Structure 1
Amino acid sequence: MKHKDFKILIAGAATVLFMSACTKKLDLVPTNDVGPGAVYSTSVGYKQAIAKVYGAMALTGNSGGAGSPDISPQIINDEGNSDFLRMYWYLQSLTTDEAGWTYHSNTDPVGIHQMNWSSVNQTVAGLYFRSYFLITLANDFIRQSSDENLSSRGITGTSADSIRKYKAEARFLRAYQYWVLMDLFANPPFVTDADPIGGPLPKQIQRKDLFTFIESELKDLETQLLAPRTNEYGRADQAAAWALLSRMYLNAQIYTGTPKYTEAITYCNKIIGAGYTLHPKYKELMLADNHLNTDEFIFTINYDGTYTQNWGGTTTLTHGPAGVPADSSGTSGNWNCIRITQQFVNLFDAQDIRGQFWTQGQNKNMTQLLDVTTDGYSSTKFRNKTRTGAPAPHMDPAKNWVDIDFPLFRLGEIYLTYAEAVLRGGTGGSNATALSYLNQLSVRARPNDPAASTYAQLTLPYIINERGRELFWECLRRTDLIRFGQFTTNAYLWAWKGGTPNGTAVDSKYNIFPIPAIDLTSNSNLVQNPGY
């Protein structure tokens, strides 16, 4: 199945299995008129259902679902803000030196860049409930894919084998969303397919225990997912599980108090050994035909201007940057929302092509955060054009929506994880190999610099800065700054951190987000995170 065809299947499946995600109702069955007996009666129905689970990563809608009208007015003020990636990007990038947001109306991420959010912040709650919506979809698919259900529906042989692979993918998607919640919220409610439908309210799980659950799931999936680079583009395989494990292990000391750098190296080696290579041109990573980048991309969220239209995802990252004209972005124009702090801009030297900063009409310094659209450079990293400069393949007539897929995992991150894990004392790697990976990234980033192969330094300060340069706007900056002790402390300050022009340290409670107040009210089993 081609790239376009899987997007079409995802879009078609969007009408199926729209379920509640409020955590007090995590076990609800579909609330529309298409019940599980009809959806899961054939192998084709299962394929459509797993496409719905994937599709919920790229499509928008009310995260609360028909069964949760109590949360929808407060969390989803416009449909674009219910897209997973847009909400996730808000919390991972807008909280850091990577980006500031111009506006502060009720549909904007109020207080996120300034680090003054609370348990009633709608942006924080939006991501939280969207992740649970995705977990709920995955849990239902996993239940419906049991051997008992397959047998009772007369699905056997190769059809049953295919569905078991889909089930493994649903488990991976659930594990990924629980990682998101563990990373951002630390101690979230927890429910799986083993919990009875309509059972007791979900109980809270501690971060260390959730780490163990995700780790166990991913290790089990190593033998159940398809081999690396053998699945359809946009679907999970073994390498996706390895990539998530490597990321978890790199941050294990934050999550559990116990470092696991050797394990991080182990899984980086598995991915590198599977045949991935760096895509030769960095500026082609975030274009409208980036589905061709299967050399580097490990797992993606697929977007399409015709089949997955929404105002979130890479549409936000293409329209959002301030000042970028339509002929540059390949869209109908810019929203003048996103600007970049001068401290982040300063990470890039003149030879480095990765910033792709838009400077025309923009001041470098973010003297003002709100309402002033010209304070701070922006970026053309995400462009709705092909590598030849042609219009996006599935451009809608109004040029509103984009074709740019978003890599949740790619080889560039794996090289950086390997190098950092080696530096932090992990075994199974070498300094020489780590430095070679860093130099490969440097050579790609500086194609016109004859000394690029000698630029890299095998030091932790170099790596945190290089992660910023290489993974710019790819939803990792907050997690990285926390791991390096720079997120809430005065070790690194940027414009408007803590709400001041030059930046200031903030309370360490902001290293994790609060459980949304609306869920604390709904579920008496939950205890708020410290400090909120």
Structure 2
Amino acid sequence: MFNYIYTGIAGLMVVFATSCTGDLDTDPRVEQTIDNILDEDPDAYKGMLAKIYSAFILTGQETSGQTDVVAPDAGASSYIRNYWNFQELTTDEALNRWGDGGLDALNRLNWTAGNNFVRILYDRIYLEVAMANNFLRETQGIEDEEIQDFRNEARFLRALAYWHAIDMFGNVPFVTENDPVGNFEPPRYTREALFNYVENELLEIIPLMKDPGTNEYARADRVAAWMLISKLYLNAEVYIGEPRYSEALTYLDNIVRESGYSLEPDYQNLFLADNDNSREIILPLASDGLRSQSYGGTTYIIHAGISNSTMNPSDFGVNGGWEGNRTTSAFVDLFGNLETNGDRRALFHTEGHIKENTDYTAFNNGYAIAKFKNITASGDMGSDTSGEFVDTDFPLFRLADAYLMYAEAVVRGGTGGDLSTALDLVNQLRERAYGDTSGNIGSAALTLDFILDERGRELYWEGHRRTDLIRFGKFTGNTYLWPWKGATLGGSAVESFRTLLPIPLTDLGVNSNLVQNPGY
């Protein structure tokens, strides 16, 4: 539903220039000077912060057809849409039928440094960094308590974008509010250097963030910062070659015991048009079908997962299906026999579809996913009665993920947690999934392989799978195969360098400090 902070955007008509030409920290272009706007309307500071939040899900400043980054299709330029594509289409959880503009390469895991979607994701990440940097410059020295809260959130959002850069690209340009604006070539930071920076930023701002549950809806509080640093530590062995599971458990234990968040009783309700009512979602990317329209975010996820011939779009609260994304047979197999399994998270549409993915250009080759809907828990359609844009918020961080992260960190040998708590947390998710204790497991079954599969069953299509498969050593190579991995129907080995995306050619050509990632 509508993110309250987004209301500040309209009052501040600021359009931030992109970083795709190599200028990673350009000044915003404004009709007046920013100083004039801020002098006339102090609330504009909140509008500036709102722009940083909204840029994770919206495509531009004004309408669904306008984009802040250079892209042939405005709708396809959304930050979370591109992040989702790389986290899902490159894995067993999703296949895209369209294949246009470079999407085929995601299905096949054979993209190049010239891939359009690689560039758009990179540009989006650095647009977020540029906007956060600009906000921090403009608010430097202001002692007002609310502005200080805004600054802490801007630093959090910059850390979030930089975490995506660490995870996706590894060795990247680095720029902060203290660097020159304009004609400036940012230095290249190694993955380890950027990891250390993000870690230190989060350690500084965690005690400064608002207490759990005290911030406006869809704004980050201390729990969101706990989640982000936990994710940084959980993946540290991939990022810097050093296990940091004990450090992850420090903050995951805080989330489990002190966050005030709680599991949503009905799993499906987490992905409906009124999921803003849930106390499980720690940090949503908020959508509103009337006031924050774009063809990214959950509008994309819902429409692109629906067929007009085998499904009824009105059952999903939208006016039509785009027949783009569905899942693979390998992912369906994680649930076993769908008729007897009893796991209510298996939200597949099978009628008119075959399980196999023989032809990934045919939408009915693969089961459709019926997880996200623009329908409320009471069955009402979202606020946009045309059915074009949705109200369903994207759950970037939620409590169930923290439960599974806690269990994984314990099983991997982290200290500061315990096996009995880990088992209880996993079984709480299983009891919700099965409606009783019939799906519960014992401690002997709580293995890393089980946890990876359970993360798939619990978190599919929420933008986690690529990072998870890499952490478990199953993204590249031939240890785990799924349809069209490596560009073959049965799946084939993929080169290890594919765990990182290439630095886009557009930035390599304008920043002499950059070095292409190996393999590209």
- Both structures adopt the same fold (TM-score exceeding 0.5): yes
| Unpaired runs of at least 5, structure 1 | 63-67, 151-155
Task: Out of 272-281 and 435-444, give the one that drifted further.
Answer: 272-281
- Aligned partners of 1:20 and 1:31 also within 8 Å: no
Shift of 1:369: 1.3
Partners in 2 of 1:450 and 1:194 — Cα distance?
55
- Which residue pairs with 2:511 in the alignment? 523
Question: Counterpart in 1 of 2:25?
Answer: 27
Contact 2:153-2:220 at 8 Å conserved across structures? yes
User: Distance between the aligned counterparts of 2:114 and 2:440, measured in 1?
Assistant: 49
Q: 2:300 aligns with which of 295, 301, 316?
A: 316
Deviations 1:127-155 (A, max 9, x none): 110111111111000111111xx3xxxxx
Partner in structure 2 of residue 444 of structure 1: 432
Which residue number in structure 1 is paired with residue 254 of structure 2? 270
Query: Does residue 142 of structure 1 match 2:132?
Result: no
Q: What are the superposed Cα offsets for residues 485-513 of structure 1, whole Å, 9 maximum, x if unpaired?
A: 10011110000000000000111110100
Query: Are 1:292 and 2:277 counterparts?
Result: yes
Aligned to 1:408: 396
Cα-to-partner distance string for 1:295-335 (whole Å, 9 max, x where unaligned)? 21111111110011111110011101142321221100111
- CA spacing shift, 1:405–1:248, aligned 2, 3 Å: same
Give the distance between the partners of 1:462 and 1:16, measured in 2 at CA.
48
Identity, in percent, stands at 43
Aligned equivalents of 2:33, 2:461: Cα separation in 1: 39
Residue aligning to 1:343: 330
Deviation at 1:30, TM superposition (A): 1.2
Q: Distance in 2 between matches of 1:37 and 1:17?
A: 15
- Structure 1 counterpart of 2:44, one-letter code: G
Alpha-carbon spacing, 1:455–1:103, altered in 2? closer, same or farther (3 Å): farther
Deviations 1:247-267 (A, max 9, x none): 111100000111000011110
State whether structure 2 residue 323 is matched by structure 1 residue 332: no
1:254 aligns with 2:254: no
Letter in 2 for 1:416: L
Matched, 1:302 2:290: no
2:88 pairs, out of 93, 96, 106, with: 93
Q: What do residues 454-477 of structure 1 show as CA deviations (whole Å, max 9, x unaligned)?
A: 478311110000000111011110
Counterpart of 1:131 in structure 2: which amino acid? Answer: I
Q: Residues 93 and 476 of structure 1 are in contact (CA less than 8 Å); yes or no, is this contact kept in structure 2?
A: yes
In structure 2, distance between residues paired with 1:163 and 1:368: 54
Give the Cα–Cα distance (whole angstroms) in 1 for the partners of residues 26 and 500 of structure 2. Answer: 28
Structure-1 separation of matches of 2:206 and 2:154: 14
Q: State the one-letter code of the partner of 1:288.
A: A
1:4-37 residue CA offsets vs partner (Å, 9 max, x unmatched): 4616515525732423323622222112323221
Q: Please state how far the C-alpha of 1:94 moved relative to its aligned partner.
A: 0.4
Mapped contact 1:358–1:378 kept (Cα < 8 A): yes
Unaligned runs of 5+ in 2: 62-66
How far residue 117 of structure 1 moved from its aligned partner, in angstroms, is: 0.1
2:162 paired with 1:175 = no
Letter in 1 for 2:150: Y
State the Cα distance separating 1:200 from its structure 2 match.
Answer: 2.8
| 1:38 Cα deviation from its structure 2 partner | 2.3
Aligned residue among 352, 365, 382 for 1:361: 352
Give the Cα–Cα distance (whole angstroms) in 1 for the partners of residues 432 and 442 of structure 2. 12
Q: Partners in 2 of 1:316 and 1:50 — Cα distance?
A: 24
Task: Give the SS at the match of 2:453.
Answer: helix
TM-score normalised by length of structure 1: 0.92
SS of the residue corresponding to residue 22 of structure 2 reads helix
- 1:374 corresponds to which residue? 364
Please report the TM-score for the alignment, with normalisation by the length of structure 2: 0.94
Count of residues in correspondence between the two structures? 505
Root-mean-square deviation (CA, aligned residues, Å) is 1.8
Tell me which amino acid in the other structure corresponds to 1:129: D
* 1:7–1:304 contact (8 Å) kept in structure 2: no
